[in-house]
Structure 1
Amino acid sequence: MILDIGAGSGRDAAPLAGQGHVVVAVEPTPELRALSQQIHGDQDFEWVDDSLPEMRVLCSRGRRFDLILRTAVWMHLDEPQRSLAMQSIANMLAPECRVVLSLRHGPVPAGRRMFDVSAHETIQLARAHGLTVVHHSEREDPHARRGVRWSHLGWQQETAA
């Protein structure tokens, strides 16, 4: 089962569902959920109105996921929220399964709430919650926005010895 946190318009959730995966898409913005249902109405995935850092709805259900995606979400959380969010994510991850995150760096667009979060800080936070780095890459912005670049991180839950 795949969890897409901050699913937005369903850009990632829809193709994964189309490939036969069971997908839960979390998006707190009603307008984005409605847009996705218009665009991807033919895809079978579950929408949940929930949000980081606590993920109260999903955590209360006790579900565990094989893959958790966080695309362009992490830098919208402040430091205390990131710590709480990492714990929520670690709690929802099935044993030996993975988390994938993209992290935007660069100028903050007008009217947006974003924080300067380094890949290193995020890796250390994940490690403190029992997650081991399995991927780390840095890339230029695919839309060629001036001064914007991306970190792509992947973790796996550590196994008990």
Structure 2
Amino acid sequence: MDDRTDQDFSARVLAGYEEVGADWIEQSEQIDCAELFAPVLAFLPDRPSLIADIGAGTGRDAAWLARKGHQVTAVEPVARLRNAGIAIHSALSIEWIDDRLPELSQLSPQRSFDCMLLIGVWQHLDLKSRPLAMARLSTLLGQQGTLILPLRHGPGALSRPVIAIDVEETIGQADQAGLALATRVEAQSLQEANRRAGVTWTWLAFRKTTEA
């Protein structure tokens, strides 16, 4: 892809999410977070921590973590989802930010998170953006911080295109960014329609090992 094509792909993805209906939002919010995070539950902080949920959608996961006592920053570039999340989870103290990968320019380099999540995000990044995003995420993680990165395999919605992910390549990009693989777990999709379509996930957790 050239730069123009990269930009067009990103715009198509964001536009697709701007058009999701109330039923999509409701279905997303109904996913059980404890079941979703089961493959990496041991790698989530067990004490109050600073957590960034990148591509937070409507804040389902951010809200779950905030209820556990964590200080959560929800980063979501799609106004439709961000505004829905602010309304749905208004009772919780979640910081909402309009920002996107790979730059995450609204997050100060002085900020240091204990844990970062990217749930259902990586498949929407073009090949050129992925190593840039990995390097940027590493700069925002504190020493020994954890990155939770599930990789989606299989077809996506026509309005929200995806690009295939090479797991080993992703692990290599993380290693180059100073992130060491802590676990790798294969899992089925929790959503029946996705299972029928052949969608599976590879859950990865990384530890920050070097100063970026």
Equivalent-residue separation in structure 2 for 1:38 and 1:139 (angstroms): 31
Q: CA RMSD in A?
A: 1.2
User: In 1, distance between residues paired with 2:156 and 2:59?
Assistant: 23
State the aligned residue count.
159
Cross-structure match for 1:87: 135
Higher helix share: 2
Q: For residues 50-61 of structure 1, what are the structure 2 equivalents within 5 Å?
A: 50-58=99-107, 60-61=108-109
How many Å apart are 1:108 and its aligned residue? 2.4
- Structure-1 separation of matches of 2:95 and 2:158: 32
* Contact 2:183–2:206 (Cα < 8 Å) also in 1: yes
- Percent identity of the aligned residues? 42
Separation (CA, whole Å) in 2 of partners of 1:109 and 1:20? 35
- Give the Cα separation in 2 of the matches to 1:61 and 1:98: 17
1:2 partner amino acid: I
In the alignment, structure 1 residue 74 sits paired with structure 2 residue 147: no
Residue by residue over 1:63-92, the C-alpha shift from the partner in whole angstroms, topping out at 9 and shown as x without a partner, is: 110000000101111111001100110000
Q: Is the 8 A contact 1:18 1:44 kept in 2?
A: no
Structure 1 partner of 2:201:
150
Residue of 72, 81, 94 corresponding to 1:32: 81
Gaps of 5+ in 2: 1-49
* Structure 1 match to 2:167: 119
Tell me the residue number matched to 1:18: 67
For 2:145 and 2:72, how far apart are their aligned partners in 1? 15
Residue identity in the other structure for 2:208: Q
AA of the residue aligned to 2:167: A
CA distance in 1, matches of 2:146, 2:109: 20
Residue 93 of structure 1: how far off its partner (Å)? 0.4
Q: Which of 55, 59, 62 is the equivalent residue of 1:6?
A: 55
Answer yes or no: is the 8 Å Cα contact 2:109–2:139 preserved in 1. no
Name the SS of the counterpart of 1:24 in structure 2. strand
Task: Report the residue type matching 1:98 in the other structure.
Answer: T
TM (norm. structure 2) is 0.72
Q: Secondary structure, in 3 states, of the residue corresponding to 1:12?
A: helix
Paired residue secondary structure (1:155): strand
- The TM-score with structure 1 as length reference comes to 0.94
**Following superposition, which runs of at least 4 residues in structure 1 exceed 4 angstroms of deviation?**
none
1:140 is matched with which residue: 175, 185, 188?
A: 188
Give the one of 153, 166, 185 matched to 1:105: 153
